[in-house]
Structure 1
Amino acid sequence: MELWIPITIGAAFCQNLRTAMQKHLKGKLGTTGATFVRFGYGVPFAVLYAAVLHTVFGYPLPLPNATMLIAGALGGLAQILGTFLLIHLFAFRNFAVGTAYSKTEPIQAALFGFLVLGERISLAAAVCIVMGIAGVIVISLARVPLTVSAVLRSLAGKPALIGLASAAFFGASAVAYRTASLSLEGTGVPMQAAYALVYATSFQTIAMAVWMVIREPDQLRASLSAWRSAVWVGASGVAGSIGWFTAMTLQNVAYVRSLAQIELVFTFLASWLVFKEIIAKSEILGCVLIVLAVLGIILLR
């Protein structure tokens, strides 16, 4: 099995943990604060990881270059905007369609990857990507009344547009991060990913802190006051990000982000096995489609 596959699955699991904790903090901090803690409390863990790679395992520290600085900053801004929009979706009563649209990220990542890096995907992989997204959409809409009028209103409504925009920002950030990491070639994949991660996370923290000082100082104070919970968001978020950056350094972004859809399977397994929640038949169908898509990406690409 290629190394990027277990790394991506591990990253998806960590992201699942981070999302659960971030949703809990959303009720205490609001959208901006819940977005900030993902980055602000993650910086120390990212720096520690890079330091261990350098001092313990002997990976050389890269020299910053213009491509890394620009791509990392653009990726950081795009991820902030994508995260903000995704969290903002929960303010809408009919957010399910928007959330489904936000999961079109693999298609948008494939497009950005082609435009920016010239990366192509096979026909079999494209079919698997579409199948995985179909599974995500089936799950997202499982508990929504699917009348014709409701579907038509939802498809062009504000949540749908926000979801599409969120996916576009996440797809763009993934490609930007791969560009930044690849530009550090020669220092080893783990260090390339770690160095790009430290830079991007630090940039995000500074950018959001400045914004919050000027526009939302109460959110910054609340984020600092909630450090006992927020530090775990930062730790799990960086654990996932280490996986994403490393996997995207090794492999085409579209494949990595498609395989990452397995996160939803983890979510439903936890709901069923841990919380004893009842799972709808359509949600089971969606999980099956995602699993088939993941297997297809691994075996057929």
Structure 2
Amino acid sequence: MISSPIWLPATLMAGGMQAWRTAVQRRVGKSLSINGAGLVRYLYGLPFALLMLAAYRLTFPAPFPSVGGLFLLFCLAGGLAQIIATNLLLMAFHHRNFVVGTAYSKTEAVQSAILSFLLMGERLSAPSLCGIGCGVGGIMLLSTGGRRMGPLDFLKALGQPAALYGIASGFFFALTAIGIRRAAQEVGGSDPIHAALIVLAVTVALQTVMQGGYLLLRESGEMRRVLASWRVSGQVGFLSAAGSACWFTGFATAPVALVRIVGQVEVAFTLAFGHFYLGERMKRSEAVGLMLVALGVILALAGAL
């Protein structure tokens, strides 16, 4: 059920910020390990998450809601799933280019639809389901990287590391969305932005402890490089916190699968960043795939409105 129209602009903003953050984070990842590159978004994002929550509460004063153990459990589960998903996505980048690695992970739209139905009973309209199919088709076309591939070639490509890491990343991103939505529901209240910012602050704090603790135990020397990269990593942290605030607002106010379908506009931003920021050329198949993704988003919106 859609509880507020704010989910749409929040989701569109989230897509743009996530593409920007991922592009910057990939550059950071060239000098850090996978776990180090993953930590920067939480360690440097936490101050911004806390600042956004404090600023919002000062602007719109309200009693702080009482939350229980389930809230923390859902924040922990969603945060851990996001850590795994992010690391898998960074691993995919090591095998294919920025655009293709992201494209594989965006199968999360169809995975979110299946998981949210099985775990939460959320249903979508027929146009929205058609939008999922269209969007996934466009993403699969993007995933070919401009090569001519028949059905058999495509099936073989799905067994490559980039595909496996990307699809697994999409699965855990879908679990992240479900965990965050359930955490926001535990907060309750009539202000979804307030709930989303509370979930964000708690989740990022837990993620910082989890991944930071792992890094100190297993890659202690990497922590020094993470701290030394503060100039660029600070940008990652800000973009991550701002983008997550938008994502979490979407998850708090609309079905998970619908948010993820519309969130596929991130692919358009990804192509733009891949072309202008990372110097990767856009191929004809990527342009066609992008149009299919856009059509999928339009169908999803038609089914939701």
Q: Which amino acid aligns with 1:183?
A: E
Q: Is the 8 A contact 1:53 1:59 kept in 2?
A: no
Structure 1 match to 2:137: 134
Cα shift readout 1:196-239 (whole Å, capped 9, x = no counterpart): 11111000000011111110112211101111110110000111
Give SS of 2:41's match: helix
Partner of 1:71: 74
CA distance in structure 1 between the partners assigned to 2:201 and 2:98 by the alignment: 33
Of 59, 73, 79, the residue aligned with 1:56 is: 59
- Whether the aligned pair in 1 keeps the contact of 2:67 and 2:186 (CA below 8 Å) is no
Q: Could you tell me how far 1:29 is from its partner in structure 2?
A: 0.9
Q: Deviations over 1:75-100 (max 9, x none)?
A: 00000000001101122259987654
1:89-100 → structure 2 map (5 Å cutoff):
89-92=92-95, 99-100=102-103
Q: How do residues 143-182 of structure 1 correspond to structure 2 at under 5 angstroms? A: 143-144=146-147, 146=149, 150-182=153-185
- Structure 1 equivalent of residue 286 of structure 2: 283
Secondary structure of the structure 1 residue equivalent to 2:142: helix
Whether 2:74 is the aligned partner of 1:103: answer no
**Which residue pairs with 1:47 in the alignment?**
50
User: 1:125 maps to which residue?
Assistant: 128
| Structure 1 residue 48: Cα displacement | 0.7
In 2 relative to 1, CA 102–222 (structure 1 residues): closer, same or farther, beyond 3 Å? Answer: same
Give distance in 2, aligned partners of 1:177 and 1:278.
35
* 8 Å Cα contact 1:76-1:200 kept in structure 2: yes
**Alpha-carbon distance in 1 for matches of 2:299, 2:152:** 35
Q: RMSD over aligned Cα, in angstroms?
A: 2.3
| Structure 1 residue 107: Cα displacement | 1.2
Aligned equivalent of 1:9: 12
Displacement of 1:32 after TM fit? 1.0
Question: 1:215-271 deviations in whole A, cap 9, x for unaligned?
Answer: 011221110111111011000011100000001101001010111110111233456
- 1:222 equivalent among 206, 225, 235: 225
1:264 has 2:267 as partner = yes
Deviates more, 1:93-102 or 1:173-182: 93-102
Are residues 94 and 292 of structure 1, via their aligned partners in 2, closer, same or farther at CA, if it must alter by over 3 Å? closer
Deviation at 1:149, TM superposition (A): 6.8
**Structure 2 counterpart SS, 1:230:** helix
Q: 2:32 aligns with which of 2, 16, 29?
A: 29
Deviation at 1:123, TM superposition (A): 1.7
Q: Which amino acid aligns with 1:13?
A: G
Q: What TM-score, normalized by structure 2, do the two folds share?
A: 0.91
Q: Which runs of 5+ in 2 are unaligned?
A: none
Paired residues of 2:93 and 2:101 also in contact (CA < 8 A): no
CA contact (8 A) 2:95 2:162 kept: yes
- Give a deviation string over 1:55-75, Cα, whole Å, max 9, x none: 221133222212211011000
Partners in 1 of 2:102 and 2:231 — Cα distance?
Answer: 29
In the alignment, structure 1 segments of 5+ residues that lack a partner are: none
Partner amino acid for 1:77?
L
